[in-house]
Amino acid sequence: MAIDPESLGYEASPIEFSYGWRDTVLYALGVGASADHELDYLYEGRGPKVLPTFSTIPTFAVFDSLVDRLGCDRSGMVHHSQQTEVLAPLRPSGRLRIVGRISGLYDLKRLAMSVFVIEAFDEHDVPIIRGEVTLLLRNGGGFGGERPPKTERIALPDREPDFELREKVAPTQALLYRLSGDYNPLHADPQFASDVGFDAPILHGLCTYGYAGRALVRGACEGDPNKLAMLRGQFSKPVFPGETLIVRSWSEGERVLLGVCTAERPDELCLSNAYAVLR
């Protein structure tokens, strides 16, 4: 399918998204939370607390309508980067109004790039979440659009990290994470994964993103999820279920810089150009 250049600026119809504590607990399990360290996120008797990266789940309620309007070939769609701002503490249950728009559409000759801005408001119309999703669209270029603006390149400090967390990703982790709403067969079906060039199903990029956010809460936020105001990262390399994720962070001024790789490929960042802003 050819990308429609007229889709730039399109605003999706608002969608109501309701969730309960079971959804936040399922998400926490999906991004590796354990009873040893994160029982507050897994047991309703303690709230439960809500991981700040759960905010990615409701914002994707309007994702399909934005992709449909864009007119791209979904089989060539790659999640390039994610930025999420949590503007107010997330409750263990709620009803949100989700709105989204196609805010950027760029031509890279053979590839195209699109940016979605997706926001969530509570029952009182208070803004709760603002997400920015960047997609690479293979074979979608050549429509005569502008080149994308240059983005900041994050150089990690040449010193020991202030925090490091190593966690083995369960072989079934992608199958668990997908129950929060991302049913792309790339993360479950070996034949589909092989058909698109992977040796096996890969972990969702946003699952890796959730692991990183959870590590930040533990290592940089003193266990307080409300201190994580924003998290940004680029999905550079795949992670396979069964591998060991390594999350490192460095406090640099007003930001916490992140480097996420696997023990199996320590020289390749799977989440790059990543940083967080704390309250």
Note if 187 is an active site residue: yes
Please report, for residues 33, 38, 179, the alpha-carbon distance to residue 22 in angstroms, rounded to integers and kept in the order given. 14, 15, 12
Q: Which residue has the tokens 């309620």?
A: 61
Distance, in Å, from the CA atom of 230 to the CA atom of 106, rounded to the nearest integer, reads 25
pLDDT at 1: 58
Q: What is the pLDDT of residues 234-268, one digit of tens each?
A: 999 999 999 999 999 999 988 999 999 999 999 99
Q: Give me the catalytic one of 158, 187, 189, 224.
A: 187
Q: Give me the catalytic one of 23, 80, 107, 182.
A: 182
Q: What is the pLDDT of residues 123-163, one digit of tens each?
A: 999 999 999 999 999 888 888 888 998 888 999 999 999 99
Q: What integer is the mean pLDDT of 15-40?
A: 97
What region does 71 belong to: left with phi over 0, alpha with psi -120 to 50, or beta? Answer: left
**Element (DSSP H or E) covering residue 131:** strand 127-137
106 close to 7: Cβ distance less than 8 angstroms: no
Note if 158 is an active site residue: no
User: pTM value?
Assistant: 0.95
pLDDT at 71: 87
Q: Which domains does the chain have, with CATH numbers?
A: 5-137 (3.10.129.10), 163-278 (3.10.129.10)
pLDDT band per the 50, 70, 90 thresholds, residue 66: very high
pLDDT at 196: 85
Residue 96 has pLDDT above 90, yes or no: yes
Distance, in Å, from the CA atom of 112 to the CA atom of 101, rounded to the nearest integer, reads 17
Q: What is the pLDDT of residues 101-124, one digit of tens each?
A: 999 999 998 899 999 999 999 999
Q: What is the pLDDT of residues 216-233, one digit of tens each?
A: 999 999 999 999 999 999
